[in-house]
């Protein structure tokens, strides 16, 4: 007897929710309310329209859009058309956007009208790009999205794939150390990681999820598919605005959101900040959160789920799983600030030395974090050399430096390029940043290496101070020295109005390093 099996794909999530929760509102944006049945119907029409426009199986379809209904629908319509979604960072330059369009081999581009300046004449400048569709349109640059959608039909398409290991999306890295790399996600990996997001972020049919995280970033950490899987409600947000976030939390009864620590800092220190009336589950990643901001958000009534991962791991790969024994502990928030243990369904996380041997679980010895499992990328698109290097020894190499604690939890110390080596001693910029942020006057901090004639390099901190407060750099330096080994304290601190950040709120340390190293031929002394 032959037993058939269904190939794993996130398409199954929308099929089920349209069947089980068809009349339920699946997406909210302003006054717009869209049911799951309508979402499935629009995805079907768009898939037919893509096929009618010449999109063939395996072709890439690019999107440049904020967090809108159209962007969410793309996560189902594009794979339903047997194509591969390429969601592009909306804060990139025109040159970067055109590079990604060309490198991915995009055949069609859908762009929100607010971002049209980035892609004017793109069809003429990018080889193979057949068409540009504008949301909502019309535009001299491309086809009106509404007209394009109308070319599709309602004829049912199978919410199935023939090969679950085929590509569902290509997500581009930030490219801070060179050209961005295209990370290939599979239907199987996206399906499984979506379900682990459901588990670890505690989603249910009652979830009301606010889109503070860009959908273009790792497909919104696969939450585009995860919330849909359980029939939760998506709440769109075109841009991060603390006042609007607070309004929506109250007006729409938001129960969940994902955000980088910098977004949480802006929320906790906003004039509208007040205790969450119905509780709020916040999944945070993008940079190691300080114990300070975890404590502030918990004081407002939020439940914090701290996760860690990379573009190459579909977003989160580990979670700081809460232990009951931590309740009431004086260092509870410090324990919660660690990156934790592997997600359900993947291999246990490891921290290794240069020879791929596990480092001691002593909380002191540093090594590189390596990962393996279903939610690790298939490959880098059109870059076999980089793929081979990333998977040396049979594990994906993150480039992140961490220590391993006796309880099996890992704790990041830095990106390998961010570790400061001063007089032969390693200094973790994360450790120094978190210490600075424990000062009551500090809003945000970033620490980078600067050249030093004697020690090779030394730490310098860039600090944003809370409004209506003041503090002198010398006071902050002494504050650090009172809590860490004195050699770890910054030699200098610059008080700044803001820190350079990515679209997901991650601080761009390389920008700060570049301005400090100036004419030095190399970024190590």
The pLDDT of residue 76: 98
Q: Quick check: 424 pLDDT over 60?
A: no
Tell me: do 398 and 491 sit in the same domain.
no
Tell me: do 244 and 374 sit in the same domain.
yes
The pLDDT of residue 520: 55
Residue 277 lies in a domain: yes
The pLDDT of residue 160: 96
Nearest Cα to Cα of residue 379 among 85, 82, 83, 165: 165
Q: In Å, how far are 96, 119, 120, 203, 376 from 92, measured between CA atoms?
A: 6, 11, 14, 31, 25
Q: Out of 399, 415, 431, pick the residue that ends a domain.
A: 415
Q: Quick check: 501 pLDDT over 80?
A: yes
Q: Average pLDDT of 40-56?
A: 98
Q: Average pLDDT of 456-467?
A: 91
Tell me: do 175 and 92 sit in the same domain.
yes
- Residue 524 — very low, low, confident or very high, per pLDDT cuts 50/70/90? very low
Higher-pLDDT residue of 515 and 207 is 207
Domain count, the chain: 3
Sheet holding 396-404, edge to edge: 350-352, 366-371, 396-404, 410-415
Of 31-40, 430-439, 446-455, highest mean pLDDT: 31-40
CB-hemisphere CA count at 13 Å for 333? 14
Tokens 């007040």, residue located: 274
Q: What are the pLDDT digits (tens) for 139-165?
A: 666 789 999 999 999 999 999 999 999
Q: Look up residue 145 and give its two tokens.
A: 């999205």
Q: Out of 370, 385, 415, pick the residue that ends a domain.
A: 415
The CATH number of the domain holding residue 262 is 3.40.50.12780
Which range among 4-8, 105-109, 221-225, 306-310 shows the weakest confidence by mean pLDDT? 4-8
Tell me: do 425 and 411 sit in the same domain.
no
The CATH number of the domain holding residue 468 is 3.30.300.30
Q: Name the pairing type of β-strands 396-404 and 410-415.
A: antiparallel
Tell me: do 276 and 402 sit in the same domain.
yes
Nearest Cα to Cα of residue 64 among 121, 124, 134: 134
Q: Degrees (nearest 5) of the Cα angle 371, 373, 376?
A: 70
Residue 3 lies in a domain: no
Q: Out of 415, 433, 454, pick the residue that ends a domain.
A: 415
Burial of 121 (0-12, 13-18, 19+ CB in 10 A): exposed
Among residues of the chain, what percentage have pLDDT more than 90?
A: 75
Tell me: do 426 and 441 sit in the same domain.
yes
Residue 162 lies in a domain: yes
Q: Average pLDDT of 16-40?
A: 97
CB neighbourhood size of 160 (10 A): 14
Q: Look up residue 339 and give its two tokens.
A: 């990156």
- Residue 431 — very low, low, confident or very high, per pLDDT cuts 50/70/90? confident
Tell me: do 177 and 44 sit in the same domain.
yes
CB neighbourhood size of 506 (10 A): 18
CA distance 238 to 208: 17
Residue 523 lies in a domain: no
Residue 106's φ and ψ, nearest 5 degrees, are: -60, 135
Tell me: do 279 and 302 sit in the same domain.
yes
The pLDDT of residue 96: 86
Q: What are the pLDDT digits (tens) for 335-344?
A: 999 999 999 9
Q: Quick check: 308 pLDDT over 70?
A: yes
The pLDDT of residue 142: 76
The pLDDT of residue 504: 67
Residue 209 lies in a domain: no
Residues 6+ positions from 347 with CB-CB distance below 8 Å: 371, 372, 373
Taking CB atoms within 8 Å and a gap of at least 24, the contacts of 99-103 are 99/179, 99/180, 100/62, 100/172, 100/180, 100/182, 101/62, 101/126, 101/129, 102/126, 102/127, 102/128, 103/179, 103/182, 103/381, 103/382
Q: Quick check: 176 pLDDT over 50?
A: no
Looking at every residue in the chain, the average pLDDT score rounds to 91
Which range among 120-134, 360-374, 425-439 shows the weakest confidence by mean pLDDT? 425-439
Q: Average pLDDT of 110-117?
A: 94
Tell me: do 431 and 386 sit in the same domain.
no
Which residues form the domain of 137? 11-193
Residue 478 lies in a domain: yes
Burial of 22 (0-12, 13-18, 19+ CB in 10 A): middle
Tell me: do 262 and 141 sit in the same domain.
no
The pLDDT of residue 143: 87
Q: Quick check: 421 pLDDT over 90?
A: no
Tell me: do 109 and 135 sit in the same domain.
yes
- What residues form DSSP beta bridges with 397? 370
Q: Quick check: 519 pLDDT over 90?
A: no
Residue 208 lies in a domain: no
Tell me: do 111 and 86 sit in the same domain.
yes
The pLDDT of residue 514: 81
Q: Quick check: 523 pLDDT over 60?
A: no
Residue 254 lies in a domain: yes
């Amino acid at each position: 007897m032959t037993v058939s099996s269904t190939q794993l794909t996130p398409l199954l999530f929308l099929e089920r929710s349209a069947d089980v929760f068809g009349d339920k509102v699946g997406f909210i944006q302003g006054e717009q309310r869209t049911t799951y049945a309508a979402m499935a119907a629009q995805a079907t029409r768009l898939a037919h329209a893509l096929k009618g426009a010449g999109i063939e199986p395996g072709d890439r379809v690019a999107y440049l859009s904020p967090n809108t209904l159209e962007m969410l629908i793309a996560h189902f319509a594009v794979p339903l058309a047997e194509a591969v979604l390429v969601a592009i960072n909306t804060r990139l330059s025109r040159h970067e956007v055109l590079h990604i369009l060309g490198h991915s081999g995009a055949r069609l581009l859908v762009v929100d009208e607010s971002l049209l300046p980035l892609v004017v004449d793109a069809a003429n400048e990018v080889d193979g790009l057949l068409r540009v569709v504008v949301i909502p349109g019309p535009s001299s640059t491309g086809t009106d999205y509404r007209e394009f959608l109308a070319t599709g039909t309602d004829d049912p398409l199978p919410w199935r794939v023939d090969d679950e290991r085929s590509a569902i999306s290509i997500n581009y890295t930030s490219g801070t150390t060179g050209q961005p790399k295209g990370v290939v996600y599979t239907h199987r990996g996206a399906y499984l990681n979506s379900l682990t997001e459901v588990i670890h972020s505690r989603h249910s049919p009652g979830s009301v999820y606010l889109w503070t995280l860009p959908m273009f970033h790792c497909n919104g950490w696969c939450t585009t598919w995860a919330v849909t899987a359980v029939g939760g409600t998506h709440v769109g947000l075109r841009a991060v605005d603390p006042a609007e976030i607070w309004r929506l939390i109250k007006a729409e009864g938001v129960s969940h959101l994902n955000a980088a620590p910098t977004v949480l800092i802006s929320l906790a220190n906003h004039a509208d900040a007040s205790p969450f009336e119905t509780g709020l589950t916040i999944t945070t990643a993008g940079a190691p959160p300080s114990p300070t901001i975890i404590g502030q958000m918990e004081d407002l009534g939020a439940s914090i789920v701290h996760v860690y991962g990379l573009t190459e791991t579909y977003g989160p790969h580990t979670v700081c799983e809460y232990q009951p024994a931590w309740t009431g502990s004086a260092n509870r928030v410090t324990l919660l600030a660690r990156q934790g243990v592997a997600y359900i369904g993947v291999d246990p996380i490891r921290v290794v030395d240069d020879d791929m041997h596990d480092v001691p679980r002593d909380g002191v010895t540093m090594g590189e974090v390596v990962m393996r499992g279903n939610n690790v990328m298939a490959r880098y698109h059109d870059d076999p050399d980089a793929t081979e290097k990333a998977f040396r020894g049979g594990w994906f190499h993150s480039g992140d430096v961490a220590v391993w604690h006796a309880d099996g939890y890992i704790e990041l110390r830095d990106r390998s390029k961010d570790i400061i080596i001063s007089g032969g001693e390693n200094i973790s910029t994360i450790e120094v940043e978190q210490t600075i942020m424990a000062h009551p006057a500090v809003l945000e901090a970033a620490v980078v290496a600067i050249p030093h004639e004697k020690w090779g390099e030394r730490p310098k901190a860039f600090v944003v101070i809370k409004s209506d407060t003041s503090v002198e750099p010398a006071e902050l330096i002494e504050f650090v020295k009172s809590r860490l080994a004195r050699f770890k304290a910054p030699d200098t601190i610059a008080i700044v109005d803001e820190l350079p950040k990515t679209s997901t709120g991650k601080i761009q340390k390389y920008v700060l390093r570049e301005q400090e190293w100036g004419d030095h031929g190399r970024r190590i002394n």
